Amino acid sequence: MNESEIPIDIHTLKLQDWLISRRIVPKNIQQEIKEIHTKISNALQDMPSNEQLIKLLSKANINYYHVKEIIEILKQTEKDTKSVFGTYGSQRMKDWQEICRLYEKNATYLGETAQIFVRNVNFEIPGVRKQMAKLEQLTDESLKRAQDMHKPEGQLLAEHAALLEQLGVKGDNLHAEFIEVLAGLPDLYTKSLQDIGKIQNGIDMYAEISGHKQSLPIFGIWSMYQYIHKEAPLAVEEPPISLDLSEGIASKDGEGDNAVTEIDFGTDDNGGTSSTVSAEIIDYGDFGGVDLPETDGGNIDWGIESAPASDAVEINFDIPVEEYGIVVEGTGMDGGTAKGDQAYTLLDSPNYRDRFLDELFELESFLRLRLYELNQLESSSNIMYSLMDSIATHDADSIKKILGYIEKIIQQTSDEQTRHLFQLKHSSKYANLLATKLQQMTKAVEKLRSTREGLKQRAVELREQRLQLNPVLEELIAQTRTLQTHIEKDISKRYKNRMVNLMGGAN
């Protein structure tokens, strides 16, 4: 094989060292390149108006091959200054010809071309591709985040709708709607206690064991006045309902100065958003923590005639009846007017509601115990002793039926809507808290939607930036391939036209 047929393989990373080691370019080439760039900057201050020149000079870096193109263009624009000897009198032409000679001296142009080529291959092209990949990643992340916001938005909307449904309001004007739904609270109590008479047999069974013949649950829809004084009032005057709604949250359109700050609707243990107002943010007033006196022997006290008290005190019978909220309308058993707390029904009374429910739970526990005992007696062949063997009026099926009625009453008197309305009626702060939560849900949904639209817009902008980098990358690759061709041809001429391969070039 002839020497001319042996190719010269040069790795891109070692190109500059290869040129210096073969003494093609000097070691101090960087200083010479710096001086040439200074002359190029000065020469650019005086250039003729030419479209080709303007397009050529718009490139970021002017190298040796650009200088040669500039000289060819100046031969046309400065041809009037050319003498018979082939020289040009134009200073512009002289400056650029001088720059070209400096480039060709010591093959400085080849050293600079190698530097640009290596920089493009190792830094410029990978940098643009990395930036493009980053923009693609940010675009995908923005779209994913925008998509993920549909889930919390749906949860908030569902929670908002559920809370409105529980309250029985539309949310357009909360103050007026709260007043309207509170007017229907007595009907809810009546409906929840419509089966109260069907548990009388269970009450009688427990009363036979406890020794008390009167019962509290059966009179759940009585007023406290009637329960205490054993006679129906001539008139009932309940205290007016006070709703403490801050300005700006009573309706959707309100934007008062007392607007509350945003709250964090965190998720509950089930992975969703809590659909009821958290006990941590609700002030239940004085009725949420009433201490009830313990009954003797754990039995229900069916004969209580006064509100429970924390300490036993001596009763002063000389206190005027007006202090009890009673206005005497007549004599004897004609009755009076129930006012204040005594105007509430037992189930609507902050002092008696919990006691009423507690006694229902106690009655339920007694009947479940009796049912368990009956089942044990039926399943056992042994003779077992029972304290209630003498009570044979009810079998397991009848007790189950009574338990069903009790469970229904407890469920209806303790459901979400009833509890919300009870708190609304008796806690001046609860209405404001509910309205605040409803408003904050709406604001949170609006914020989520605004953020989602912002993320979508950002994704569009990022995608546009990514597309703008396409021509930049293409131009860099084209420039690098052109430089690679120049370098390979130049080195090939210096080595008797042997084939030169720059490995690791642009691709």
Pair (267, 203) in one structural domain = yes
Task: Provide the residue type at 427 as one letter.
Answer: S
| 440 belongs to a structural domain | no
pTM over 0.75: no
- Look-up: residue for tokens 């077992």? 384
- Please tell me the predicted confidence (pLDDT) of residue 246: 64
Pair (99, 209) in one structural domain = no
Domain end marker among 406, 428, 450: 428
Q: How far apart are CA 370 and CA 228, in angstroms?
A: 32
Domain end marker among 428, 444, 470: 428
Q: Which domain holds residue 405?
A: 172-309+319-428
Pair (244, 326) in one structural domain = yes
| 451 belongs to a structural domain | no
Q: How far apart are CA 426 and CA 24, in angstroms?
A: 98
Counted domains in the chain = 2
Pair (345, 486) in one structural domain = no
| 334 belongs to a structural domain | yes
| 260 belongs to a structural domain | yes
| 378 belongs to a structural domain | yes
- Which has the closest alpha carbon to 262: 442, 432, 430, 431? 442
| 197 belongs to a structural domain | yes
Pair (91, 230) in one structural domain = no
Pair (408, 267) in one structural domain = yes
Pair (285, 381) in one structural domain = yes
Pair (378, 480) in one structural domain = no
- Please tell me the predicted confidence (pLDDT) of residue 185: 82
CB 488 within 8 A of CB 502: yes
| 449 belongs to a structural domain | no
Q: Which residues pair with 336 in a beta bridge?
A: 328
Can you give the pLDDT of all 507 residues of the chain as single tens digits? Answer: 577 778 999 999 899 999 999 999 998 899 999 999 999 999 888 888 878 888 888 776 788 999 999 988 888 888 777 776 667 778 888 899 999 999 999 999 999 999 999 999 999 999 999 999 999 999 999 999 999 999 999 999 999 998 888 888 887 888 788 888 888 888 888 888 888 888 888 888 888 777 666 555 555 566 777 777 777 788 877 777 767 666 555 455 444 444 433 434 333 443 333 333 333 333 434 433 434 334 343 444 434 344 443 343 343 434 444 444 444 444 333 457 888 777 787 788 887 788 888 888 888 898 898 888 888 876 654 444 444 444 456 678 888 998 999 999 888 888 888 888 888 888 878 888 888 888 899 999 999 999 999 999 999 999 999 999 999 999 999 999 999 999 999 999 999 899 999 998 777
Pair (97, 243) in one structural domain = no
350-354: Cβ within 8 A, 24+ apart: 350/285, 350/286, 350/287, 350/290, 350/426, 351/224, 351/287, 351/290, 351/307, 351/308, 352/224, 352/227, 352/307, 353/287, 353/422, 354/287, 354/290, 354/292
Q: What tokens does 158 get?
A: 């569902």
Per-residue burial over 490-503, b if 16 or more Cβ lie within 10 Å, else e, is bbeeeeeebebebe
Pair (223, 325) in one structural domain = yes
* CB hemisphere CA count around 444 (13 angstroms): 26
CB 27 within 8 A of CB 108: no
Pair (131, 22) in one structural domain = yes
Domain end marker among 409, 428, 447: 428
| 163 belongs to a structural domain | no
Largest CA distance in the chain: 145
What is the DSSP annotation of 210-266?
A: H-----SGGGTTSBHHHHHHSS--SEEEPPPP---PPTTSSBTT---TTPPPP----
- Which has the closest alpha carbon to 293: 278, 283, 308, 282? 308
Pair (30, 117) in one structural domain = yes
